[in-house]
Amino acid sequence: MAYRDTEKTRSKREEIRTRILQATHELVVSGGFRNTTIQAVSEQAGIATGTVYKHFPSKAELFSEVFRRATQKEVDKVAQAIVGQENVLLRLQRAIRCFAHRAIQSRGLAWALIAEPVDPVVDADRLEFRQAYAALFSDLIREGIAKQEIPLQSASVTSAAIVGSLAEALVGPLAPPPPTLQTNDRTLPSQQTEDALIDNIIRFCLQAVTGCAFIEDQHK
Amino acid sequence: MAYRDTEKTRSKREEIRTRILQATHELVVSGGFRNTTIQAVSEQAGIATGTVYKHFPSKAELFSEVFRRATQKEVDKVAQAIVGQENVLLRLQRAIRCFAHRAIQSRGLAWALIAEPVDPVVDADRLEFRQAYAALFSDLIREGIAKQEIPLQSASVTSAAIVGSLAEALVGPLAPPPPTLQTNDRTLPSQQTEDALIDNIIRFCLQAVTGCAFIEDQHK
DNA sequence: TAATAATGTGAATCCAGATTCATTTTATAA
DNA sequence: TTATAAAATGAATCTGGATTCACATTATTA
């Protein structure tokens, strides 16, 4: 008889699946979720529209997976920047710098992950995404409070506020390029260089947390 | 011959137009933009669907006007809270309290104005909305710097960060009730009372701006 | 090679709501 | 009244993109 799953079979299936995810990711990075149609995805991946549905039950599910993958990578990076034996403030600073740097490097992605209007399924993922960051920060803040490195405060409010300031200061000022990728002539607000912007954000957040800010100069 | 614009005519037209705006506003407050269909609007207003289009060129335009009206009211309130001869920090505190209080009072509206995924036309309005707040704050901060009441800093970054923290701390933790208004059992994070939450946010922002925070007790 | 069963294809279908428009109602001026 | 035109009506159309499905390809085992 015929056709049991074999290595070749599985690997090819995986490969197509991956190609769909990659194609979607690329389109999202350059044009956001809104402009990413199944037709465009299949074109980009070099397959037929129907094939997409042999690998993903719906557009929402596909988007959700793309979102979660991209998101997880970002959260991991920040989590990585946070670990260490140094004092809490330094680690907080490193985490914020990491977040900011990456957001600036890849604005299209940052916008899609943080600010772009998306459908409810993906929006639910985004909630988790922000909560993941907030959790990272609030753990760190609790640790800092316990070690008496920072004053007593509501870790949950502080961490939410930090996430909010990062999002707004980094993605808000950006001209949200939703429908057509418009002429991206408007660069950062008032010619701030990336480092200056990041330093400002760090000062804001550290001061908010402690009442004072010593910015370590450890760019990149 | 016949039918030149008269008082009665005009006032009736106005009245219907207003009724459409009100109906839309009510639906948005209770269910967000996404769930607000033209059909629902016309039902709520007690008119036919076609009539809506006699008063507004498209759904997007109608939504845009509703958004801008609601938004302007909020911005005005905050602007009002900001004026005065007192020191800058006190006025900043008052403005933040005003924003926060109103957002908490009317969560549905706050969510629709600040966080709900909306179509591009309305999203453009939202950008202006946030910029209006940011402009309010950044003027105040520049004033404070000039008067040496607060340290030198980037007013634009600080104000964007303030707007971001407010939005995230007030609307983010909220269970975004997008598709169906789900059982809103999850109240504020960890049973914080409104005042406690607001005080936390104010401390965060004032400290971020100055390095210290004296919270005036002038609730409401 | 033949039989079997996934997988790939892409044109045709579906769908939810926005939008239209032929018809009816309401108001105005003579 | 009557002729005229704006406004209201809501069933019928339109639309853009997701989703389906009958058919073609490609692997797999015997």
- The reply to whether B4 Cβ lies less than 7 angstroms from strand C is yes
- B111, B177 in Cβ contact below 8 A? yes
**CATH T-level topology, domain B66-210:** Tetracycline Repressor; domain 2 (1.10.357)
Per the rule left: phi > 0, alpha: psi between -120 and 50, beta: everything else, B148 is left
pLDDT number for residue A107: 87
pLDDT band at residue A22 using 50, 70 and 90 as cut-offs? very high
Supply A70's token pair: 């991209």
Supply B4's token pair: 């030149």
Write b or e for each residue in B33-65: b if 16 or more Cβ atoms lie within 10 A of its Cβ, otherwise e. bbebebeebbebbebeeebbeebbeebeebbbb
In B, minimum Cα distance to A152 occurs at B200
Between CA B15 and C1' D3 the distance (Å) reads: 28
pLDDT number for residue A177: 40
* Residue B45 to residue A11: CA distance in whole angstroms: 58
- The reply to whether B2 Cβ lies less than 7 angstroms from strand C is yes
pLDDT number for residue B2: 62
pLDDT at A83 over 90: yes
pLDDT at A161 over 60: yes
**DSSP code at position A189:** G
Closest CA to B95 of B209, B212, B211: B209
Chain Cα centroid distance, residue B83: 19
* Residue A52 to residue A59: CA distance in whole angstroms: 9
Which nucleotide's C1' sits nearest to the alpha carbon of A34? D17
Please give the C-alpha separations between residue A180 and each of A30, A55, B51, in angstroms, as whole numbers. Answer: 10, 29, 32
Over range A201-210, report the average pLDDT. 96
Smallest Cβ–Cβ distance between B154 and the set A161, A179, A200 belongs to A200
Supply B162's token pair: 């303030």
pLDDT number for residue B164: 94
- A89, A144 in Cβ contact below 8 A? yes
pLDDT at A220 over 80: no
Structural domain spans, chain B: 7-56, 66-210
pLDDT number for residue B3: 64
* Residue B96 to residue B161: CA distance in whole angstroms: 13
Which nucleotide's C1' sits nearest to the alpha carbon of A4? D28
Which nucleotide's C1' sits nearest to the alpha carbon of B60? C18
Closest CA to B61 of B115, B20, B104: B20
pLDDT at A144 over 70: yes
In B, minimum Cα distance to A205 occurs at B208
Task: Give the residue ranges of chain B where pLDDT is below 50.
Answer: 174-191, 219-220
pLDDT number for residue A115: 84
- The reply to whether B10 Cβ lies less than 7 angstroms from strand D is no
**DSSP code at position A173:** S
- B128, B113 in Cβ contact below 8 A? no
Smallest Cβ–Cβ distance between B161 and the set A156, A160, A165 belongs to A165
User: What is the tens place of the pLDDT at every residue in B32-47?
Assistant: 999 999 999 999 999 9
Number of C-alpha atoms within 13 angstroms, CB side, residue B66? 29
Q: What is the mean pLDDT of chain A?
A: 86
- The reply to whether A152 Cβ lies less than 7 angstroms from strand D is no
* Residue A21 to residue A36: CA distance in whole angstroms: 12
pLDDT number for residue B219: 45
Closest CA to A172 of A100, A91, A119, A118: A100
CATH 1.10.357.10 for domain A64-210: yes
* Residue A97 to residue A199: CA distance in whole angstroms: 8
* Residue B61 to residue B68: CA distance in whole angstroms: 10
Between CA B84 and C1' C22 the distance (Å) reads: 60
**CATH T-level topology, domain B7-56:** Arc Repressor Mutant, subunit A (1.10.10)
Please give the C-alpha separations between residue A103 and each of A29, A154, A160, in angstroms, as whole numbers. Answer: 12, 27, 18
Mutate one of A121, A133, A154 to test the B interface: name it (highest B CB count within 10 A): A154
Chain Cα centroid distance, residue A17: 22
- B84, B143 in Cβ contact below 8 A? no
Please give the C-alpha separations between residue A45 and each of A16, A22, A26, A29, in angstroms, as whole numbers. Answer: 8, 8, 10, 15
% of chain B exceeding 90 in pLDDT: 66
In A, minimum Cα distance to B118 occurs at A117
Smallest Cβ–Cβ distance between B168 and the set A160, A189, A196 belongs to A160
Per the CB < 8 Å rule, is B123 touching A130?
Answer: no
* Residue A44 to residue A13: CA distance in whole angstroms: 17
Per the CB < 8 Å rule, is B169 touching A179?
Answer: no
- The reply to whether B127 Cβ lies less than 7 angstroms from strand D is no
Over range A91-98, report the average pLDDT. 97
- Tell me which residue has tokens 């979102």: A67
pLDDT band at residue A96 using 50, 70 and 90 as cut-offs? very high
User: What is the tens place of the pLDDT at every residue in A183-195?
Assistant: 444 444 444 578 8
Per the CB < 8 Å rule, is B158 touching A197?
Answer: no
- The reply to whether A184 Cβ lies less than 7 angstroms from strand D is no
